Structure 1
Amino acid sequence: MGQRFTWCNNKAGRARILEKLDRCLINTTALDYIHLALVKDLSRVASDHCPILLEVFKPVEHTKNIIRYEEVWASYYGATALVKNVWMRNCKGDLTYILNLKFKRTLKTLFYWSKAKYQDLNALRDKLKNEVLEIQLDKSEGEIFFEKLQILR
């Protein structure tokens, strides 16, 4: 893309030579990463050559998110009821398809459930940290009540 001619010998009249030079060199490592390239000829300003710009575009790769079972899910009481609930849903098809679908649904449900659960746990952790900080500030300022000391412990 760009200029029709990219090089000029800077002479006038019939001695003037215009050529299209559109070569761009890259190594093999760069070739592995390039999926789409565009060569642009920029404007000639103070030289007899037009600068050549190589624009490299790498398309966004969509990676499929894989959900894997986490052992910590088994330690939560609510996870068992959640699995039972998902497992009891009716499915149609042959036995292998039904089994695969139930595993898929269960993993997906557990994943989103645990994500919400961890958000709740993080909020609870932040709340408890603030309570502990307040009690520690009260303790540093003077005497502290027995109830607050128990909470701190």
Structure 2
Amino acid sequence: MRILAWNCRGLGNPGAVQAVKLLISSEVPDVVFLSETRKSVTKMFSMRRSLGLPNLFPIGCAGNGRSRSGGVCLLWNDDTNVKITHGSLNHILCMAKHFQSRSQMHILAIYGFSEAQHKLRTWELIQRLKPPDTTPWVCVWDFNDVLSPSDKLGGDPVNVAHLQLIDQALQDCGLQDVGYSGYQFTWSNKRSIPNLIEERLDYALMNDSWKALWPVMEVFHLTRLSSDHNPILVSCGSTKREVFRKQKRLFRFEEVRLHDSEECAEIVAEVWSNGFQDVNSKITNVGKSLQLWGRLKFGAIPKKVSDLKVKLQNLQRSTQTDEVVAAIRSTEAELESLLK
């Protein structure tokens, strides 16, 4: 199972929408949680098809116009048996079935309270939603809180008394930090030193029953795109090979091909006119022909996107001088232009 979670900081920006599509296309998740969509339920349903996954459970944002805030949603593919239990602006609780044992799994997506005086409400919410100890349980997403002093760089020191209360809540719920691969921090105020603040606010917590069901589990901190948060990918499997192997990507028609719709239509018509092939073979061959034509016509855009993501990731991990921050902004703009 692959779970993608991201605070996208608003889907009104076309760059953020393209970033979500890129993440879904490249990481091939089974389940996606998005927070801070800043969209109504109606708007989210109208965007569902463009985001690349067929199933959607949205909770609309609060406020109107420029005062809009919040908004969360769950997207999932047809192969994943998901049942929504309930949700709010701060969580989505769903049940899923393990594909082999058919065991019921408890997946709690948390978008933590951001105000300092309300942060404990996040952990009280988790405690209220705790399932029986024998139920495999994972909590993921943006907790808006750190788990240790080492999870913060810059700014005011972490409140140790608050961390002790978090630790007690984790013990009461039987939850443990899964850990991560990649750069430590998942949020940045995107400033240069000495005003830089970075924190690990996005992570995954699991109980012993989940660990028994999924012996190998990795949390990957992905490249930060069009947001001040990094997406995280939670990959679960029986072996390391399962966890690190991406699923086979399906052919998807890319909008860039419509930039030369006449030539695109000619290719489709030529392949489809082959009377010696069945429908499935024609669909497969149309996909192959369009992929080859796309590479020749528009260049290796996926390769350029991949190279820019690596460059951006390296910049984000570098010492944040004024020059590096400027380079990050320039690379982000170049990447956003390519994604459009």
Pairwise TM-score range, normalised by the shorter structure: 0.3 to 0.5
TM-score (norm 1): 0.32
In proportion to residue count, which structure has more helix?
1
TM-score (norm 2): 0.17
